[in-house]
Amino acid sequence: MTTAPCDPEELRCLFLFEKLSDAQLRELCEQGYMATFEPGRVYSEGDRATCFYVLVEGSVVLSRRSGEDDVDVERTSQPGVYAGAWHAYLGDRMPQTYNNSLRVTVPSRFYVLDAEKLAALMAEWFPMALHLLEGLFFGIQNTQQAVSQRERLLALGSLSAGLTHELNNPAAAAVRATSTLRERVAGMRSKLGMIAAGPYEKADLQTLMQLQTDAADRVAKAPELSPLEAGDAEDVLGDWLDGKGIAGGWDIAPTFVQAGLDIDWMERVAAAVPPEILEGAVRWLNYTVETELLMNEIAESTTRISTLVGAAKQYSQMDRAPYQTVDVHELLKSTLIMLARKIGDGVQVVKEFDRTLPRIPVYAAELNQVWTNLIDNAVQAMDGHGTLTVRTAREDDQLLVEIGDTGPGVPAEIRNRIFEPFFTTKPVGDGTGLGLDISWRIVVNRHHGDLRVESEPGDTRFQVRLPLVPSTSEETG
């Protein structure tokens, strides 16, 4: 870089300074200077913002960091464009670092002003404009934070309501089954007393105990029958019980069918015990089967509750370090479980997971928020009916997570705006326009990854790419 004094008349030719007075232009030249840079980098994103640059002649490229790459966001040769410490007027109220990188592609000349001098001149020359700018900047920032917080709370409330509903169903089922089981056990005690006082030989009791054990084993292996198949089997078994003179056989048949006990098995029972005790044996076995089925129902309900609680802990990352190495599939699975009620029965969920993918270092709870936003948007786009596809794959040194839906798609004219803060296509009150902005910040700024969308009617895919290895800042931080 070479420096030289500046000429007030040259500054007057730049649109940024054309309305300034002669005295103001002279002071700018006294405070700043001209600098010529050879092709290469002028400053880097994240460095302390020490200077304000205004292009006089040459060509510049502004870029932002995305993962391991610098993405060009603007190329221009327009004299008067500015970059660098343009927000120095905000002082210590915000981090004074460069929010992009600047490089020149040909030898280029800039007017350069130190950040502190820029802040002092703005405060002296434009006090009203400065207050307006401060109000605008911090107003937008505060609004974004407030609405972002509200969106998080709304999402949490929705998830909590869904989780409460999902937990209530198996809990209520377990309570009902426990109450019924208590009644059946009481009935078994009564029946056991009757058997003890009845005309049962020792050999008959041993046979009955063997049948009881076999019936319990069959319950655990009972096949799943369709309603039509179950109805036909109940009719056949009801006729058999009625033919054996067993009162109320039609009430017993559904329990035996559910347990997988068919006519062949019942014939074994009839052949194994004397005719005079067949009805008592059948009723005793009915108690056995009912208790096994009820215990299975309790086990399934409590397992479901445990699964939901585990998913909630995985989703919230409760009691876990914010930054950790995880299996991204576990995060996706927990989010799908948490959103199951919102997804609904009208959406088919297809999981195409590449299980060979390695664990990656991430802010897990924040990524779960990304999955929530993308899946929720997909379900809303399909209006509750369609196919939701969650796919993972490896692309070079990145892990790809793709959330696809079969909705109408994102129109081409707004595709470049959907990640902007407060931009939404939903009716007023239905969306804040921050879901995708938050997701973009988490993926790109927080994880140095990439978030983009590919869309056409019937096939929209939001693609999240995350680095397989941590950035240097995360490894050392």
What are the DSSP E strand ranges found in 28-134?
33-37, 40-43, 51-57, 60-66, 69-76, 82-84, 101-104, 108-114
Tokens 């208590």 correspond to 182
- Please, what CATH class does the domain formed by 2-125 belong to? mainly beta
The residue type at 166: E
What is the DSSP code string of 347-379?
Answer: EEEEEE--TTPPPEEEEHHHHHHHHHHHHHHHH
pLDDT one-digit tens code per residue, 247-277:
888 888 888 888 888 888 888 888 888 888 7
Q: What is the pLDDT of residue 200?
A: 63
CA angle, 89 then 91 then 96, to 5°:
100
The amino acid sitting at 403 is I
- Looking at the DSSP assignment, which residues form a beta bridge with residue 393? 400
In whole angstroms, give the CA distance from residue 25 to residue 424: 43
For the CA atoms of 314, 319, 324, 327, the dihedral, rounded to the nearest 10 degrees, stands at: -20
Residues 288 and 279: beta-carbon distance below 8 Å: no
Angle at the Cα of 209 from the Cα atoms of 205 and 214, rounded to 5 degrees: 145
pLDDT of residue 106: 93
Q: Greatest CA separation found in the chain?
A: 122
For residue 104, the one-letter residue type is V
Q: What is the pLDDT of residue 112?
A: 93
Low-confidence ranges of the chain (pLDDT < 50): 318, 422-423, 426-434, 472-477
Provide Rg for the chain, Cα atoms. Answer: 36
Phi, psi of 407 (to 5 degrees): -75, -170
Asked whether 85 and 115 are in contact (CB, 8 A), the reply is: yes
Rounded Cα gap, residues 469 and 424, in angstroms: 34
Type of residue numbered 298: I
Helix (H, G, I), strand (E, B) or coil at 52: strand
Domains 2-125 and 323-476 share a fold: no
Per-residue CA distances from 445 to 6, 63, 367, 376 (Å): 38, 14, 12, 22
How many beta carbons lie within 10 A of that of residue 41, not counting itself?
13
Q: Are 421 and 434 in contact (CB under 8 A)?
A: yes
Residue 227 CA to residue 219 CA, distance in Å, equals 18
Strands 386-395, 347-352: pairing kind: parallel
Q: Does domain 323-476 have CATH number 3.40.630.30?
A: no
Question: What is the CB-side half-sphere exposure of residue 286 using CA atoms within 13 A?
Answer: 18
Global pTM value: 0.45
In whole angstroms, what is the distance from residue 275 CA to residue 286 CA? 17
Give the dihedral of Cα atoms 160, 163, 164, 167; nearest 10 deg.
Answer: -160
pLDDT of residue 431: 42
Strands (E), 213-305: none
Residues whose CB falls within 8 Å of the CB of residue 369, separated by 6 or more in sequence, listed in order: 152, 155, 438, 439, 442
User: Nearest CA to 397 among 352, 436, 450?
Assistant: 450
Domain ranges of the chain: 2-125, 160-308, 323-476
